[in-house]
Amino acid sequence: MLWQIFGMTEKRTSKSKGSQQQAGAAGASKKPRLAKNRSKSKASDSYHHGDLRQALVEAATQIVEEKGALALSLRAVARAAGVSQTAPYHHFQDKEALLAMVAETGFRDLAVGMEHARDPHASSGANLQALGVAYVLFATNNPERFRLMFGPQITDKTCHATLLEVSSVSFELINEGVAARMKDVGAPLEDLLANTMSAWSSVHGLATLIIDSGFNPLTMGAGSIVELAHHVTASLIDGLGREPTLPNGKRN
């Protein structure tokens, strides 16, 4: 997957020394000293709030998860993080840049969940099924982030450093799982990409139906989302390695 990376430059501003020099010239009275302390406190809140960039991302992620991406604003994030309204602009060019970072956390968490679902001692079919179930569970447990990750709020993902790189990891995990399964059943690997797209479409489609269309597993005869995901992925695994049917009904 081709993508462009640009270096997101952090703009830093230095604290003004003019007010401090005036406070020093005014002598040792308590009133100027209190004003000076307030100035330091404000600067500390704005630029020394621990890892401010990470704090802003965490605050934005919480807002997205609770209210959705459309509810996000840089001012709301600043309030949630306890910093000045201008502080986010020292780390993010605009709202979309911050949304891209939230989406990145989603893709990272999705990949971690899928990695943990794999078992080096399990069969290729069991591992592929586990990957699919982990994908669906992430989506249903984090619906608003999942919508952001694949939605239109980030208009051009190629403009955000590392986002597309991170977003490809979950697809590569599915691709590896499909390849291992196809090898075990003796299927030709020239169909690998098509079969990977089929696997991805199955779990992504199921996840989307559940979170966006109110798809209830109980109405489909499944006791839970996990059970339904197991059923869908089992059907997929059983189909891997079969000869593809052409549009005219004939087989290769």
pLDDT tens sequence across 42-78 = 433 444 545 888 899 999 999 999 999 999 988 999 8
CATH number at residue 82: 1.10.10.60
Task: Report the chain's C-alpha Rg in angstroms.
Answer: 25
Q: Is there a domain that residue 102 lies in?
A: yes
Q: Is there a domain that residue 193 lies in?
A: yes
pLDDT tens, residue by residue, 118-138: 999 999 999 999 999 999 999
The residue ranking higher by pLDDT, 89 or 172, is 172
Regarding whether 108 and 230 lie in a shared domain, the answer is: yes
For residue 141, the model assigns a pLDDT of: 95
Q: Is there a domain that residue 133 lies in?
A: yes
The residue ranking higher by pLDDT, 62 or 35, is 62
Regarding whether 192 and 73 lie in a shared domain, the answer is: no
In the chain, the number of structural domains is 2
Tokens of 71: 């509810």
Does residue 102 contact residue 160 with C-beta atoms inside 8 Å? no
Q: Is there a domain that residue 8 lies in?
A: no
Regarding whether 211 and 86 lie in a shared domain, the answer is: no
Regarding whether 221 and 136 lie in a shared domain, the answer is: yes
Tokens of 114: 């899928």
pLDDT > 90 in the chain, percent: 49
What value does the mean pLDDT of the chain take?
Answer: 79
What is the rounded distance in angstroms from the CA atom of residue 174 to the CA atom of residue 129? Answer: 10
Regarding whether 227 and 117 lie in a shared domain, the answer is: yes
For residue 50, the model assigns a pLDDT of: 52
Dihedral angle sign, alpha carbons of residues 250, 200, 121, 165: positive
Short-list 167, 123, 165, CA closest to 146: 167
Q: Is there a domain that residue 31 lies in?
A: no
pLDDT tens, residue by residue, 94-116: 999 999 999 999 999 999 999 99
pLDDT at 247 over 80: no
For residue 244, the model assigns a pLDDT of: 55
pLDDT at 24 over 90: no
For residue 219, the model assigns a pLDDT of: 76
What is the rounded distance in angstroms from the CA atom of residue 178 to the CA atom of residue 197? Answer: 10
pLDDT at 35 over 80: no
Regarding whether 124 and 53 lie in a shared domain, the answer is: no
The residue ranking higher by pLDDT, 30 or 149, is 149
Regarding whether 132 and 88 lie in a shared domain, the answer is: no
Show the domain range for 83: 46-92
Regarding whether 109 and 65 lie in a shared domain, the answer is: no
Quote the pTM value.
0.75
Regarding whether 82 and 135 lie in a shared domain, the answer is: no
For residue 191, the model assigns a pLDDT of: 87
Label residue 126 exposed, middle or buried (CB < 10 Å: 0-12, 13-18, 19+). Answer: middle
The residue ranking higher by pLDDT, 205 or 164, is 205
Tokens of 53: 């960039």
What is the rounded distance in angstroms from the CA atom of residue 137 to the CA atom of residue 123? Answer: 21
Q: What is the DSSP letter of 216?
A: -
The DSSP result for 10-23, as a single string, is PP--PPP-HHHHHH
For residue 139, the model assigns a pLDDT of: 96
Q: List alpha helices for 48-142, DSSP H.
A: 52-67, 74-81, 95-117, 124-141
Q: Is there a domain that residue 130 lies in?
A: yes
Q: Is there a domain that residue 27 lies in?
A: no
The residue ranking higher by pLDDT, 7 or 187, is 187
